[in-house]
Structure 1
Amino acid sequence: MKSYKKISKWLAMSLFVASSALFAQTPDQSTPPDALIKMVVTDVMTSVKSDPEIQKGNIPRIVDLVEKKIVPYTDMRRTTEMAMGPNWKKATPEQQAQLTSEFKNLLIRTYSGALSQLRDQTVQFKALRSTPDEQEVVVKTVVLGRGDPVPLDYRLEKTDKGWKVYDMNIMGVWLVEAYRNQFANQISQNGTEGLVKFLQDRNKQLASTK
């Protein structure tokens, strides 16, 4: 269980890392995905390490940072769709919008504190193996710190607004896979509306403890 929680935190932190720097740098739409990730990670790690409040674990400050910077530069709708699997198409447009919003809030509230854990980590960037016409790529990196090296992969899609991160993989575990079974179980027991309520209740619970 500790290993799973650690993996989940790294996944969420890397998602925040990518999103935050994207906002700060405002990259050009033609920026290649590997160059984008390198710019993103380098910039945000520098920014977080220089912010005393984030280093102290100031949750409202971190949540505010993530709210402003993660939403415009990641495809949370795509992330939610993947986590829902076949059930996504069975949901109404209104339910899809609700699920996307609540899932975004869940990720933010559950893992916002992970940014404050950035200390002396560095990142090694792997060469991208892709062709210019590819619409989806995986950018591979390795996080180096005090413990063992941690492989960390970013899955991106090419949109009309540039490349966007929509999933993360660490040590063989994709973010959306970590939630897929849980979502499927909720829908099986209580339907799509039951999943919406589950996410809403969970977000209220997390908000009351922050």
Structure 2
Amino acid sequence: MNRRSLGRVALCIAASAAFSLPLSALAADEAPDALIKRLSADVLNTVKSDKAIQAGDLSKVIALVDKTVMPNVNFRRMTAAAVGPGWRQATPEQQKRLQEEFKILLVRTYAGALAQVNDQTIQVKPLRAAAEDKDVLVRTEIVGRGDPIQLDYRLEKTPGDGAGWKIYNLNVLGVWLVETYRGQFAQEINAKGIEGLIDTLAARNKTNAGTAKG
């Protein structure tokens, strides 16, 4: 993915990275498109009013993600899909470390883009799904400066006490986030194994942390 495309992805993910209500506070029967519409509006309002986030305060971004984003994402499924077949070969401890390093990678990669969110709004397109569907695609566009940016969400309906919709993939301008990382991770796994992938992610995160401090 080239730098221009990554920048667009960063902007879009940043625009979805401040969901303001935990899943437990959401109605289990809330439609997925209504959920995305409401959360998107909350996101933009939060970013526009928080000067620290706009300035790229990484600690605030991480705290925000942990508190508000992660409850709305099936991150285990997202990480497993990005790792691919190697996920089943990983030990429970390796799976935990993969999730931790992958989350840090995403947060650090896209934190800076939060500063770019100012005049944008998000338009949610009509949902094409039946009432009984448990896996849906919610299509949106970010509009403001420049051409509209396609941002689509894959969500699944979760049962049980935490019933509701959870995001497990994002599509920006026709490129799915999970599939993009799967190709990169597969190369690392083929060359160095699961432990090698974890080491590579940890090293990249350490480098990114040093860059942010500088």
Report matched runs for 1:39-118 at 5 Å.
39-118=38-117
Report matched runs for 1:1-210 at 5 Å.
1-17=2-18, 20-23=19-22, 26-160=25-159, 161=162, 162-210=164-212
3-state SS in 1 of match to 2:126: coil
Q: Would the alpha carbon gap of residues 82 and 11 (structure 1) be closer, same or farther in structure 2, given more than 3 Å must change?
A: farther
Deviations 1:100-126 (A, max 9, x none): 121111111111122221100011110
Give the distance between the partners of 1:72 and 1:24, measured in 2 at CA: 6
Contact map agreement 2:152 2:171 (CA 8 A) in 1:
yes
Q: 52-61 vs 120-129, which deviates more?
A: 52-61
Letter matched to residue 209 of structure 1: T
Letter matched to residue 123 of structure 1: I
Q: 99-108 vs 85-94, which deviates more?
A: 85-94
Give the distance between the partners of 2:152 and 2:86, measured in 1 at CA: 26
> After TM superposition, which residue ranges in structure 1, 4 or more long, deviate above 6 angstroms?
none
Q: 156-165 vs 5-14, which deviates more?
A: 5-14
Q: Percent identity?
A: 46
Give the distance between the partners of 2:53 and 2:23, measured in 1 at CA: 16
Which TM-score applies when normalising by structure 1? 0.92
3-state SS in 2 of match to 1:72: helix
Number of corresponding residues: 208
Q: 184-193 vs 195-204, which deviates more?
A: 195-204
1:140 Cα deviation after fit? 0.5
Q: Would the alpha carbon gap of residues 108 and 93 (structure 1) be closer, same or farther in structure 2, given more than 3 Å must change?
A: same
1:21 Cα deviation after fit? 2.5
- Segments of 5+ residues of structure 2 without an aligned counterpart are none
1:11 Cα deviation after fit? 4.2
- Segments of 5+ residues of structure 1 without an aligned counterpart are none
1:15 Cα deviation after fit? 4.0
Superposed CA RMSD in Å reads 1.8
1:24 Cα deviation after fit? 9.2
3-state SS in 1 of match to 2:11: helix
Letter matched to residue 90 of structure 1: Q
1:41 Cα deviation after fit? 0.3
Contact map agreement 1:11 1:169 (CA 8 A) in 2:
no
